[in-house]
């Protein structure tokens, strides 16, 4: 059996075991029912669960062929068939009382517009659509940072670090 097929079989078997076993039977299971990530940092994610991750194909030297090309993010954006199940898992990991997936955006901490890793769970988290600073608010920060990077006013790595550290202060940190 080839390695990819083995991985899929193991994943399916592991998922079946997790679903069939009570939560107390497997306290070290990666998707246990108890919250493993904190919501105490909202509107920011828990950095121990969502530290951010970058796309190795995007660098300062490739921005004119990647993030600064109109429509480029659509070529790397993961499908909802990937993000929706991850959103459900991460809502549980964060211990949100509201478990309606419609109330969250499975958001990239380092956005695709700034070279964030498209499918790395360390770069994705269920960001609430409620509160004073929401997923919608973060979108305007992402757009401003991308414009500054593509205009040459801010280095890509500085923008990535600023948004991964605290998206609510990222613009002021990089001076825009």
pLDDT confidence band for 21 (50 / 70 / 90) = very low
Q: How many CB atoms lie within 10 A of CB 23?
A: 12
Residue 123 and residue 112: Cα distance in Å, rounded? 10
pLDDT confidence band for 15 (50 / 70 / 90) = very low
pLDDT confidence band for 35 (50 / 70 / 90) = confident
Residue 127 and residue 140: Cα distance in Å, rounded? 15
Q: How many CB atoms lie within 10 A of CB 104?
A: 23
Sole residue written with tokens 């955006």:
105
The structure's pTM equals 0.80
Per-residue pLDDT, averaged over 64-83, amounts to: 98
pLDDT in tens, 102-126: 999 999 999 999 999 999 999 999 9
Q: What pLDDT, on a 0 to 100 scale, did the predictor assign at position 26?
A: 30
Residue 86 — left, alpha, or beta (φ > 0 → left; ψ -120 to 50 → alpha)?
alpha
Per-residue pLDDT, averaged over 13-21, amounts to: 36
pLDDT confidence band for 34 (50 / 70 / 90) = low
Sole residue written with tokens 């029912």:
33
Per-residue pLDDT, averaged over 80-91, amounts to: 98
Q: How many CB atoms lie within 10 A of CB 175?
A: 10
Sole residue written with tokens 């670090």:
161
Which pairs with CB-CB distance under 8 Å and at least 24 residues apart come from 6-12? none
Q: What pLDDT, on a 0 to 100 scale, did the predictor assign at position 7?
A: 37
For CA atoms 26, 95, 81, 55, the dihedral sign is negative
């Amino acid at each position: 059996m080839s390695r990819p097929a083995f991985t899929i079989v193991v994943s399916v078997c592991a998922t079946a075991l997790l679903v069939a076993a009570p939560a107390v039977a497997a306290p070290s299971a990666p998707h246990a029912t108890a919250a493993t990530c904190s919501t105490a940092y909202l509107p920011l994610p828990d950095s121990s669960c969502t530290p951010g991750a970058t796309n190795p194909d995007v660098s300062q030297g490739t921005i004119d062929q990647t993030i600064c090309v109109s429509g480029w993010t659509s070529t790397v954006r993961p499908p909802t068939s990937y993000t929706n199940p991850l959103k459900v898992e991460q809502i549980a990991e964060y211990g949100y009382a509201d478990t309606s997936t419609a109330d969250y955006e499975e958001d990239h901490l380092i956005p695709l517009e700034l070279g964030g890793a498209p499918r790395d769970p360390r770069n994705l988290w269920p960001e609430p659509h409620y509160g004073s600073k929401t997923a919608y608010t973060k979108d305007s920060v992402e757009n401003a940072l991308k414009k500054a990077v593509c205009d040459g006013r801010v280095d890509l790595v500085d923008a990535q670090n600023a948004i991964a550290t605290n998206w609510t202060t990222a613009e002021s940190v990089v001076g825009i």
